[in-house]
Amino acid sequence: MLSRHHDPIAAIATAPGRGAVGIVRVSSPQDLTPLVAAVCGKALKAREATYLPFRDAAGAAIDQGLALLFPAPHSYTGEHVLELQAHGGPVVLQLLLARCLEAGREQGLALRLAEPGEFTQRAFLNGKLDLAQAEAVSDLIDSSTEAAARSASRALGGALSGEVGELRDALIKLRMLVEATLDFPEEEIDFLQQADALGRLSRLQQRLDAVLDRTRQGALLREGIKVVLAGQPNVGKSSLLNALAGAELAIVTPIPGTTRDKVSQTIQIEGVPLHISDTAGLRDTEDEVERIGVARSWEAIADADVILFLHDLTRVGQADYEAEDRLISDRLANVSAERILQVFNKSDAPNAAPVPEGALSLSAKSGAGLQALRQRLLQQVGWQATPEGLYIARERHVQALRRTREHLDMAQAVAHQQPPALDLLAEELRLAHDALGEITGAFSADDLLGEIFSKFCIGK
């Protein structure tokens, strides 16, 4: 995609299907005046909506609507942009798009169809948005909760980019001090004390930790939490899924093995999306279909952020039940303990066993204990009460900040050596700077950019 970023492009910029209004968007580094004349039949004033007929090659009207021209660089992409707002029927919009492509050829403008995310990619390449802001455009469109939408809007406004920029500026100043000292070796002995390099580095690490914490929270808002309900048959997994979702999604019967495949639903708690999956009961079985379902259950468990290991309080103490639970626990031994949440269900049953001290108990049937479970799920993944100004983030941002922190830690270790190896210190600070630059796109490989923008919708 990057090799063709100077091509004029066009696309339908609104969602597929019928609607009141649909938009065809054109962006080009070349002047669009000839195209405007061919399609609109008259010149347009910059950034002023004009109501007129959109004309085909013979001069007949395809539709009536609004045309807006945004001359470069004052446009979304930083190029010359034409937007045609017509009625939102798919046939009308396809005719209008085809006319733009045809008129482009007639006027010597080699218009082609835009690829997914190409308009926003050009906004990034032309300096209208940095990479974190460009990603926030997609995140805002894809937001599944109100909190995620508000946070994506803040990221689009530059909240994440601003914090990363402050870290970058502090890191640049520290790099300048270190590299300047490399040019004057006689000053090396007093460098750390006079320039307060250790103090600057320590403060930078503290600020980075604060940004990393907020970024983790933002990544949770965007990515959500993958939760798997696991346990023996008939412990109440399907009932718990239905209770959390507030709908009858899974079939509930007293017959063991009712659930044979994964049933999933996304809910939200405090604006955080939870992708909850009910799985087949974990047991050895001769039923071929159920065995496939159990295998898929273990696959889902391996991929989960949180595993709710459900226990049946009405069967606790029964030898066969306890033996099966131990087998499941043994197989879960290779899973990080932080990912497993022990939950005891059927607490309202007359024959329910006492709940182990400190354990989480509930009744999926009555709803008792569900709110405590919701809060525990958020705690399990480190969610905090949403602070004002939280911005949405991606896992790649978290990883970039973690790499930055690792290089700063290495830099601190080098700085404490006697005497400090300033060339190694300078190198670790450079690597930290590069990792930080990946977030906003200051240092990004073309294949990374292609992967990011390919996930956008066409027309954006």
Domains in the chain, start-ordered, CATH in brackets? 2-126 (3.30.1360.120), 136-220+391-454 (1.20.120.430), 228-380 (3.40.50.300)
pTM beyond 0.85: the answer is no
Distances (CA, A) of 439 to 132, 214, 333: 6, 14, 36
Per residue in 206-217, pLDDT (tens digit) is: 999 999 988 988
Q: Which residues are annotated as a binding site for (6S)-5-formyl-5,6,7,8-tetrahydrofolate?
A: 25, 83, 128, 460
C-alpha 218 chain-centroid distance? 8
In sign, the C-alpha dihedral spanning 181, 182, 184, 189 is positive
Hey, what amino acid is at 283?
A: R
Higher pLDDT, 301 or 100: 100
Percentage of the residues of the chain whose pLDDT score is greater than 90: 45
Q: Which residues are annotated as a binding site?
A: 25, 83, 128, 234-239, 253-259, 278-281, 460
82/367 Cα distance (integer angstroms): 55
Distances (CA, A) of 9 to 14, 30, 70, 101, 246: 15, 11, 15, 9, 46
pLDDT at 23 over 80: yes
Indicate the range of 12-26, 81-95, 117-131, 193-207 predicted with least confidence: 193-207
Q: Is 167 helix (H, G, I), strand (E, B) or coil?
A: helix
Distances (CA, A) of 185 to 1, 178, 402, 421: 47, 11, 32, 11
Q: Which residues are annotated as a binding site for GTP?
A: 234-239, 253-259, 278-281
Per residue in 42-93, pLDDT (tens digit) is: 999 999 999 999 999 999 999 999 999 999 999 999 999 999 999 999 999 9
| pLDDT band with cut points at 50, 70 and 90 for residue 428 | very high
Angular region, 246: left φ>0, alpha ψ -120 to 50, beta rest: left
Q: Which residues are annotated as a binding site for Mg(2+)?
A: 238, 259
pLDDT at 22: 95
pLDDT at 60: 95
130/142 Cα distance (integer angstroms): 19
Higher pLDDT, 336 or 88: 88
Q: Which residues are annotated as a binding site for K(+)?
A: 234, 253, 255, 258
In this structure, the chain runs to a length of 460
